[in-house]
Amino acid sequence: MFSMQELEAAADIVHAVMPATPQYNWPLLGARTQCDVWVKHENHTPIGAFKIRGGLVYLNELIASGEQPEGLITATRGNHGQSIALAGRKYDLPVTIYVPHGNSTEKNRAMEALGAELVEHGADFDESRIEADRVAAERKLHFVTAFHPWLIRGVATYALEFLSAARDLDSVYVPIGMGSGICGLIAVRELLGLKTKIVGVVAENAPAYAMSFDAGEVRETDSAATFADGMACRVPSPGALEIICRGAERIVTVSEDEIADAMRAYYSDTHNLAEGAGAAPLAALVKERESMRGRKVGLVLSGGNVDAGPFSTVINGGTPALAPVA
């Protein structure tokens, strides 16, 4: 997929904008799961999520290739969009971002604060993506897909930091949205020659990748109705699925209540905010704690961008309901 030299060059691009994020061992999470738990804190980046890494490397490679786009366009539920908006601003390129109706208000505000033009379209990410792709051709804009080798190489820099610092992890649990995070982790595990098992995590209400993994081929779903918007995928990427099928140990599905429980656990045990996708790996480890007892386990806290309303519901013991789409 890429060489160690290429990965280290990507890390230099990322670290020119932000420092490496920490990985901490949390005793209360250990007591909760009966494991030695290490958390990679991607909620500590300048956009509160790991996606920043992909956008920075993607734009660097795009400009280095000699392409001079009039502007960029993409679709997102929020974190990918923030990444492209931040990178676009760095290279003085206008960015248009499509989001579905009912998207996170605070993620929308963050993208606009980075200078992006925001357009609401469709009921979910995939409808937004299709429309953004159409508009890209119409307006001759460069369409930034959510899964691309440059994005993978960028986000893989978190995995290089994590697995270099904690080489003897038995397993790492990582959420799956469109697949760049888990694919980057698999690639780095292979480059470092480690035996660490990679465990993907999806929401039961957005099980497309789990179904596809089990089938060995893409399986789409009619909806992806999870409040964990970073995992709200109903059409998997064939390229991502190929890598996941080759390199992942298994994919665990977690319920909306289990995700909310994990968000509360992160707050009570570490005083960190975790959005739904960021908390899902902990939810999966809790679900599998009997079989994982006593092992050294990594959790990828992929982001902390949760709106105040849903987090208030979570911290008060509830599970957020999805708002109806206008």
Residues 131 and 182 in one domain: no
Can you tell me the distance from the alpha carbon of 105 to that of 250, in angstroms, rounded to the nearest whole number?
Answer: 33
Hunting for tokens 């005083």 — which residue is that? Answer: 271
Query: Which band of pLDDT confidence, cut at 50, 70 and 90, is reported for residue 321?
Result: confident
> pLDDT averaged over the chain?
96
Query: CATH number, domain at 69?
Result: 3.40.50.1100
Instruction: Indicate if 297 and 168 belong to the same structural domain.
Output: yes
pLDDT over 80 at 191, yes or no:
yes
Same domain, 72 and 85: yes
Q: What is the pLDDT of residue 111?
A: 97
pLDDT tens for 258-299 read 999 999 999 999 999 999 999 999 999 999 999 999 999 999
Among residues 46, 142, 47, the alpha carbon closest in space to that of 94 is found at 142
* CB-CB neighbours of 251 under 10 Å: 22
Same domain assignment for residues 176 and 105: no
Measure the CA dihedral 16/118/146/310, to 10°. 90
Note whether residue 111 is domain-resident: yes
Q: Quick count: other Cβ atoms within 10 Å of Cβ 155?
A: 31
Q: Write the single-letter amino acid at 261.
A: D
The H-or-E segment that residue 278 falls in is helix 276-287
Contacts of 106 (CB under 8 A, 6+ apart): 305, 307, 308
39 is written with which tokens?
């958390």
192 and 95 share a domain? Answer: no
Whether the pLDDT of residue 326 is over 50: the answer is no
Backbone dihedral angles phi then psi of residue 114, each to the nearest 5 degrees: -85, 5
**Distances, alpha carbon 284 to alpha carbons 197, 255, 269, 270, in Å:** 14, 9, 17, 18
Asked if residue 21 is part of any domain, the answer here is yes
82 and 205 co-located in one domain: no
Q: Is the dihedral of CA 159, 160, 164, 165 positive or negative?
A: negative
At which of 144, 179, 197 does a domain end? 144
**DSSP-derived 3-state class of residue 247:** helix
Please indicate, yes or no, whether residues 153 and 136 belong to a single structural domain of this protein: no
Asked whether residue 290 is domain-assigned, the answer is yes
132 and 218 fall within a common domain: no
Q: Return the axis-axis angle of helices 4-15 and 52-64, rounded to nearest 10°.
A: 110
Instruction: Flag whether 226 is in a domain.
Output: yes
- What are the tens digits of pLDDT across the range 24-77? 999 999 999 999 999 999 999 999 999 999 999 999 999 999 988 999 999 999
Which percentage of the chain shows pLDDT scores above 90? Answer: 95
Query: For residue 219, what are its two tokens?
Result: 């399986």
Residues 130 and 119: their CA atoms lie apart, in Å, by 13
**Structural domain that includes position 254:** 4-50+149-315
Residues 6 or more apart in contact with residue 55 via CB below 8 angstroms: 80, 82, 83, 84, 85, 86, 87, 151, 154
pLDDT of residue 324: 42
Q: pTM of whole model > 0.85? A: yes
- pLDDT reported for residue 167: 82
Own/partner contacts of 236-239, CB < 8 Å, gap of 24 or more, are 236/178, 236/179, 236/208, 236/209, 236/212, 237/146, 237/147, 237/178, 237/179, 239/147, 239/179
Domain for residue 324, yes or no? no
pLDDT digits (tens, 9 = 90+) for 79-128: 999 999 999 999 999 999 999 999 999 999 999 999 999 999 999 998 99
Which of the four pLDDT bands, split at 50, 70 and 90, describes residue 216?
Answer: very high
CA-based nearest residue to 80, from 181, 149, 9: 181
Q: Give the total number of structural domains in the chain.
A: 2
Tell whether 36 is covered by a domain.
yes
Place of tokens 């978190």: 158
Give a yes or no: residue 133 inside a domain: yes
Residue 293 lies in a domain: yes
If asked whether residues 125 and 162 sit together in one domain, one would say no
Query: How confident is the model at residue 65, as a pLDDT?
Result: 94
> Based on the domain organization, do 67 and 129 belong to the same domain?
yes
48 in Cβ contact with 306 (< 8 Å): no
**How confident is the model over 297-318, as a mean pLDDT?**
97
Query: How many angstroms separate the CA atoms of 102 and 121, rounded?
Result: 10
CA distance 21 to 43: 9
Residues 291 and 174 placed together within one structural domain of the fold: yes
Of 144, 163, 185, the one marking the end of a domain is 144
Domain's final residue, options 113, 144, 175: 144
Beta bridge partners of 22: none
The answer on 58 and 45 residing in a single domain is: no
Question: For residues 232 and 125, is the Cβ–Cβ distance under 8 A?
Answer: yes
Return d(Cα 218, Cα 209) in angstroms, integer.
Answer: 8
